[in-house]
Structure 1
């Protein structure tokens, strides 16, 4: 073969290689493999504790019923629930606002009127949310928050009026009550006549501008000891992180550990049994309605069955997207000498939780004993004589529990005690101090 044929042959081979390369490239671009469809990953249904309805979470801590010449009251959960069950069969209509703000003296006079009962709430309850408890017929429910409900009856007509009162602002809405079965006498017997069996109460600060009434006899309470049961923090990890499998676990020190991914962090205090979850990207400073915020927070806790013990709504701040729930035991609020350990706190952000702080212990009773606390009138008298506080600044007095955590024995002890509310904080009455021990509730 002559040299004159080498160059044409090389050109032909190069052309064939180019064509072959183009063919392979085209095949790769256009090839679609036959693969079985990928099934979407199933979400794990996490239920740590219970789901709760709004009516189980928003409850009054006290009920006073004022007759003509007689004052009765109760903090007993069963007795209050009986009244609320009757009210749930009502229809409230014709809501109107009182355009004049009541000052403290006017409000005190309002609460002193006969033929009415008053429900006391720890926090300001958004009226649209309370529609789930006492149905409101009006097509538009005002964005108004209250911490007292006053229901008045007319003995001559057996008719009810209802008042939703905001003590801080002095504003209130009033409406008409119609029982669903139109038998007003049934409600009258269940609430008004039934209330005659409640404990005897007395007004205690007649010289001051705030209306306070307390039991005149010693209060029967239960002192309980609970074993320190725990819920595994990994269950909260699975409930709160988008992908639990991507979460990294690390031991910070002897009492702290962390769970985290690229978006969120869960800090666990193994000594106080507290969790602190934060998802920074979810933070929101957009305005929100108190009713929407409260619904969102309750639903977010319901999603993972986060009601591990009896918690009740106690505070809301729509501007900071903040909601708090207080632990209750035997129907009474529970406080602690370690801040936050008897509360569930949540900041709700952009369509999800921004920050979530709560205990992960549960209460398993192992021992109980009965005891009596002094009469409320005795406590009020002692507070009025104390030189360490201004009795005129006291807003209310009630019974509750001080929870103490014995780390060595791994137990919780619920000590019954009297508490007084002053400057939005509940403080435990201590005879030794002739005043009180601050336990902190903003």
Structure 2
């Protein structure tokens, strides 16, 4: 009898042991140390639209060379610009050969050959360019940065040449196997027949021969509140405190991170210091991290373009906002339309942006003209930092008008060698009447309503 009891107890203990082993293997009891990250207990509120890298990488402008020293410039998000870029997205560029930049006489090619230049203004990593175009090259090419792509037709040989210019070295890369034909290049350059004429003295600054028509807009804006951004940027908003410095700037801090609210509650600067890393930063990885960070912390409104205004090792990145095809200038007197970040090893350590976002709805518009020809040349010549000017381009200067409205006024802007931008010249007074109609650089349709049906000009929709 006793032996039977012992056998039953032993069998029970064996079954119990098997059950415990099963639960340990296939269940997740709340036992032991629980490791949680700060992100685990705070879900950020999505307060803006998300964006993808391929929508943020595009040229600052496209210069069309028509032959006979005739040129024109296309600006982002205009009809012909979009057509060319969309076509190039579907082409393949392979088999790159490296040469020194002086392998070609670029001044002669610029003035005599029909072609186009995609100019980025700053070096863009090839890894990011691959999101815009189909590129396949060796490791040296894939690890470089490109600031312009030049495509032209050699009339004496009836062939197409394609060059990618390095912004880091004096090298150019020629794509030996480019999926482009002579008729492609002819078609792209042909769009210039419907656009204003530009002249250049150095191949860098292109100035229109006549005034350009642009649009001054009055638009409505909405505001993110500092409290929204506080909840969005701090892992535990309940642990933050608010202080005010002597200048009246409001600061939110949790002891490590800080968020300054400036410009009467319209601009923030968030800082999250990290230890300096000993390894080299990878620019393309930092760009991905910056985009992901913005997607989670504030989001986007409208079209933005990635720019790389400082040396790669600085870790500073910018995303500039566009409205009606022209970039919005963020100036020290009024900061708007720009997001600035500092990124180290994929970690965002600084984040600056406006709390104002462009609202949907109808805008009030007035036609304005930007000076051209000799008047613009004189403005450039008289500019006190003329030797530092890298680019002259039309832009929009924002200003407050009251009633939650912004005025975006067309101006000529300059970009300097240190990456800063300044206003070069004002638009002509509203109501100015010129002798004949002036083409508008921000229009989204051909200047001639029948342009798309001209002989040889039937681009894809």
1:119 correspondence with 2:118:
yes
The answer on whether the counterparts of 2:93 and 2:135 sit within 8 Å (CA) in structure 1 is yes
Tell me the distance in 1 between the aligned counterparts of 2:127 and 2:76: 26
Asked whether the equivalents of residues 257 and 267 of structure 1 are also in contact (C-alpha less than 8 Å), the reply is yes
Residue number in structure 2 paired with 1:418: 412
SS in 2 for 1:380: helix
> Counterpart of 1:163?
163
Taking the aligned partners of 1:358 and 1:276, their CA distance within structure 2 comes to 7
Whole-Å separation in 2 of the counterparts to 1:346 and 1:145: 20
Which residue of structure 1 lines up, in the alignment, with residue 364 of structure 2? 368
Q: What residue is the counterpart of 2:150 in the other structure?
A: 150
CA spacing shift, 1:158–1:137, aligned 2, 3 Å: farther
In the alignment, is the contact (CA less than 8 A) between 1:152 and 1:161 conserved in 2? yes
TM-score for the superposition, normalised by structure 2: 0.73
Shift of 1:299: 2.5
User: In structure 1, how many angstroms separate the alpha carbons of the residues matched to 2:235 and 2:280?
Assistant: 26
- Tell me what 2:353 maps to: 358
The answer to whether the aligner puts 1:61 opposite 2:60 as a matched pair is yes
> Is residue 191 from structure 1 mapped to residue 157 from structure 2 by the alignment?
no
Measure the CA separation in 1 of the matches of 2:282 and 2:116: 29
Where 1:381 maps in the other structure, the secondary structure is helix
RMSD: 3.4
Out of 253, 257, 260, the position equivalent to 1:267 is 260
Residue of structure 2 aligned with 1:399, choices 394, 408, 433: 394
Alpha-carbon shift at residue 319 of structure 1 (Å): 1.0
User: Could you list the per-position Cα deviations for residues 11-31 of structure 1 after superposition, in whole angstroms to 9, with x for gaps in the alignment?
Assistant: xxxxxxxxxxxxxxxxxxxxx
Structure 2 residue matching 1:301: 3-state secondary structure: helix
The verdict on how the C-alpha distance between 1:309 and 1:282 changes in structure 2, with shifts beyond 3 A counting, is: farther
Partner of 1:321: 315
Matched length: 387
- Secondary structure of residue in 1 paired with 2:269: strand
Q: Please state whether the residue corresponding to 1:77 is helix, strand or coil.
A: coil
Q: Is the 8 A contact 1:159 1:177 kept in 2?
A: no
Kindly report which structure 2 residues correspond to 1:280-319, keeping only aligned pairs within 5 A, or say none. 280-281=273-274, 283-284=276-277, 286-304=279-297, 306-316=299-309, 317-319=311-313
| Deviation for aligned residue 1:149 | 1.6
Is contact 1:265–1:279 with CA below 8 Å preserved after alignment?
yes
Q: Structure 1 regions of 5+ residues with no counterpart?
A: 1-34, 433-442
From 346, 349, 372, the counterpart of 2:344: 349
* Distance of 1:200 and 1:298 partners within structure 2: 35
Q: What is the distance in 1 between the residues matched to 2:109 and 2:265? A: 44
Which portions of structure 1, spanning 4 or more consecutive aligned residues, are displaced by more than 6 angstroms? Answer: none
- Kindly indicate whether the alpha-carbon contact (under 8 Å) linking 1:218 and 1:372 is maintained by their aligned counterparts in 2: no
Quote the Cα distance in structure 2 between the aligned partners of 1:217 and 1:160: 31
Distance of 2:263 and 2:386 partners within structure 1: 40
User: 1:35-72: CA deviations, max 9, x gaps?
Assistant: 98499856525322122222321222321111222423
Deviation string for 1:97-147 (max 9, x for gaps)? 22x3549x9654554451210122232211221011111122534322222
Are 1:172 and 2:172 an aligned pair? yes
Distance 1:263 1:120 in 2: 41
2:377 aligned residue: 381
Structure 1 partner of 2:13: none
Contact 1:101 1:169 in 2 (8 A): no
Name the counterpart of 1:26. none
- Paired with 1:362 and 1:329, the residues of 2 have a C-alpha distance of 12
Give the drift of 1:235.
3.1
TM-superposed deviation, 1:218: 2.6
Distance 1:158 1:234 in 2: 63
Max radius of gyration: which structure?
Answer: 1
- In structure 1, C-alpha distance between the alignment counterparts of 2:210 and 2:107, rounded to whole Å: 23
2:403 & 2:94 partners in 1: Cα distance?
A: 55
